[in-house]
């Protein structure tokens, strides 16, 4: 279990833009690179069969949407079909445990995000750690959108504050997984606003926002890709986006900062392979997914889906991965009693 001091230490992470450390990322394809079916080259015969990508969250959530979007274009580069397998449970740890024990041949990859290399500090019984995976690339750094149910009466940060302070601990907040970016956002936002939410955990952001749309929960903090369908359908009220500036996919949704609270929060998304995957295979995968990311058609589709594209790969991503791990590890362990 996590102590109160540990939770407070983790909250510091929520206000950080998680493109820190060595990998600044890129929000658009380099002018010198073009999209399309560039060959990934390499000396091995990899790949010669279907590649599987484990997404440790439910279908339709931000993780699932972002991986499926990128993988569709990577199929062209790899010359093989990429199959997405949603393995839910344990706030992502069931799927990542399966990934860590997979044969390290490049045919099983997995979705990975900001805090996953420290899951063994956040959850009891987790056997994998930072050294269990081979980093491939980071492909996005996404903000959340705070959404409210129609019956909550919340329409902006001011009304959220008013309701939260009038009903301490009663304002329910649906999270797309325990100790994911959703939870780190909750903790840090509670500190920033000086209110406490009633924490309700689901197995993905799509389930969380559905609970808000049905009126079962007051608020949720889905990623943009998860929020867009319910917002467009008029089923939820968009309160604010957690990026530093407005996102042009949802230009009418104001930032939290615009509404008088100096607060931002984003989460990076990436792909990893099991440790022990041969370097030449890793190089093939890096090149294929880089090619997919640089495809203008991918960029357009990612933007339309609410994915904030940001690229970091190869050795640069390995450095970022390790430094990000140490940053979170220090914050988490500083709270241990």
**Percentage of the chain modeled with pLDDT above 70:** 85
Answer for the pair 77, 22: CB distance below 8 angstroms, yes or no.
no
CA distances for 9 relative to 115, 329, 334, angstroms: 14, 10, 7
At residue 74, what are phi and psi to the nearest 5 degrees? -70, -25
| pLDDT (average), residues 8-16 | 38
Q: How confident is the model at residue 20 (pLDDT cuts 50, 70, 90)?
A: very low
Residue 335 has pLDDT above 60, yes or no: no
pLDDT of residue 19: 41
Q: 245-272, pLDDT tens digit by residue?
A: 999 889 999 999 999 999 998 889 999 9
Q: 304-325, pLDDT tens digit by residue?
A: 888 989 999 999 999 999 998 9
Residues 6 or more apart whose CB falls under 8 angstroms from that of 311 comprise 25, 26, 137, 138, 139, 290, 293, 294
Answer for the pair 50, 82: CB distance below 8 angstroms, yes or no.
yes
* Whole-angstrom distance, CA of residue 70 vs CA of residue 25: 16
CA distances for 336 relative to 2, 3, 5, 289, 332, angstroms: 8, 7, 7, 38, 7
Residues 6 or more apart whose CB falls under 8 angstroms from that of 133 comprise 99, 100, 110, 112, 117, 272, 273, 274, 275
Average pLDDT score, the chain: 87
What pTM does this model have? 0.75
Sign of CA dihedral 252, 300, 136, 123: positive
């Amino acid at each position: 279990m996590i102590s109160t001091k540990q939770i407070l230490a983790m909250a510091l992470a929520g206000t950080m833009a998680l493109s820190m450390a060595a990998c600044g990322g890129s929000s658009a394809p380099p002018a010198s690179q073009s999209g399309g079916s560039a060959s990934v080259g390499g000396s091995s015969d990899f790949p010669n069969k279907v590649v599987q990508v484990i997404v440790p969250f439910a279908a339709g959530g931000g993780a699932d949407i972002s991986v499926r979007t990128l993988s569709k274009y990577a199929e062209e580069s790899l010359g093989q079909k990429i199959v997405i397998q949603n393995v839910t449970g344990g706030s992502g740890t069931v799927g990542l445990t399966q990934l860590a024990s997979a044969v390290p041949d490049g045919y099983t990859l997995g979705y990975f995000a900001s805090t996953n290399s420290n899951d063994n500090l956040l959850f009891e019984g987790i056997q994998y750690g930072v050294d269990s995976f081979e980093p491939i690339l980071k492909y996005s750094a996404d903000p959340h959108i705070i959404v409210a149910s129609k019956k909550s009466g919340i329409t902006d940060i001011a009304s959220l504050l008013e309701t939260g302070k009038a009903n301490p601990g009663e304002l329910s907040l649906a999270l797309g997984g325990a100790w994911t970016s959703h939870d780190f956002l909750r903790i840090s936002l509670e500190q920033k606003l000086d209110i406490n939410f009633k924490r309700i955990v689901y197995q993905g952001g799509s389930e969380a926002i559905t609970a808000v749309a049905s009126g079962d929960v007051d608020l949720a903090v889905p990623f943009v890709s998860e929020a867009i369908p319910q917002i467009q359908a008029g089923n939820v009220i968009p309160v604010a986006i957690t990026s530093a500036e407005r996102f042009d996919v949802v230009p009418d949704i104001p930032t939290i900062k615009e509404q008088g609270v100096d607060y931002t929060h984003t989460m990076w998304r990436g792909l990893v392979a099991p440790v022990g995957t041969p370097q030449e295979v890793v190089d093939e995968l890096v090149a294929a997914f880089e090619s997919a990311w640089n495809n203008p058609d991918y960029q357009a589709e990612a933007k339309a889906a609410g994915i904030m594209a940001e690229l970091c790969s190869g050795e640069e991503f390995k450095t970022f991965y390790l430094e990000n791990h140490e940053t979170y590890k220090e914050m988490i362990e500083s709270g241990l009693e």
